[in-house]
Amino acid sequence: MKLKRYRVDSGKKVSLKEFDTRDTGPYEDKEEAAEDLRKDVDRLAELQDVLYARNTHSLLLVFQAMDAAGKDSVIKHVMSGINPQGCQVFSFKAPSAEELDHDFMWRCMKSLPERGRIGIFNRSYYEEVLVVRVHPEYLTAQSLPPEAVKGDLWAKRYEDINNIEKYLVRNGTVVLKFFLHVSKKEQKERFLERIEAPEKNWKFSLTDVKERAHWDEYMKAYEEMLEHTGTSWAPWHVIPADRKWFTRALVARIIIETLEDLDLRYPDLPEKQKAELAAARDVLLHEDSGQPTTGTKGTA
């Protein structure tokens, strides 16, 4: 699969109309993609185990999308095989009063993954250049000093985000960002499904329809976000999201290739620790034999 075509190159103009939301890559049908996803789920479990054991890097996965694009579904399916002890998922909704009393990155920064772990942000600090840009009235609640909003606020936030992500990468956090690109038509169909299926009613909110009325504004905000924060150290990937089975397969493949590029290995123990392991093995093998173990003294 040619993954580079889904990656946003740094500094290039982005037009989301050029990205086909119904693209299925190399797949003719969902069964073929599902088979690859099953293999990749197993492979991701292997890579996560090495990441956890090595304890030198962490992986941060950032998911942004319009409502009903399938973020929850992707996280559920792609991460279905990993050890829960090595993974943390955070969903960032409307900020609390405490969060509004801090800088716009604070609530996400305190949820970053530790070394050896995978952290997943279901929405993130990017809401501050998306929702807040479409609804600038939200800035009032942030109680920003006058100098903070002088000039181009969004350019300053892009710069801050890029600098912080570079800092994270330099200190061992791999940052992968996914924009799940769903069409307006597909979103409508999924909204109707949520309304018509009783077991999915809980997923629907009238706010979703109100935000849909700002579709064009959101697309412009996403394009500018992708243009200004798609970097070589923390790339954005525009993921076709009209067909969930391809969305899942593509995200899984990107994560796996990124982890494989780290070329991580299980820790190589020092000679002293290897000798201790050998001694422990000797003790365990002889504990029921009545024979003295190597390196121990027999008793009279």
Tell me the C-alpha distance between 290 and 294, whole Å.
Answer: 13
Statement: residue 88 has pLDDT above 70 = yes
Residues 187-220: b if buried by 16+ CB within 10 A, e if exposed: beebbeebeeeeeeeebbeeebeebbeeeeebbe
Supply the pLDDT for residue 57. 98
How many Cα atoms are found within 13 Å in the side-chain-facing hemisphere of 232? 1
> Could you give the percent of the chain with pLDDT greater than 70?
96
Domains identified in the chain and CATH numbers: 3-268 (3.40.50.300), 272-300 (no CATH)
> Among 13-27, 58-72, 201-215, which is the least confidently predicted range?
201-215
Q: Find where tokens 């009235």 sit.
A: 137
Q: How many CB atoms lie within 10 A of CB 239?
A: 25
Supply the pLDDT for residue 290. 67
> Among 86-95, 209-218, 280-289, which is the least confidently predicted range?
280-289
Statement: residue 300 has pLDDT above 50 = no
The average confidence (pLDDT) of the chain is: 94
Model confidence pLDDT, tens digit, residues 135-180: 999 999 999 999 998 999 999 999 999 999 999 999 999 999 999 9
SS3 239: strand
69 vs 293, more confident:
69
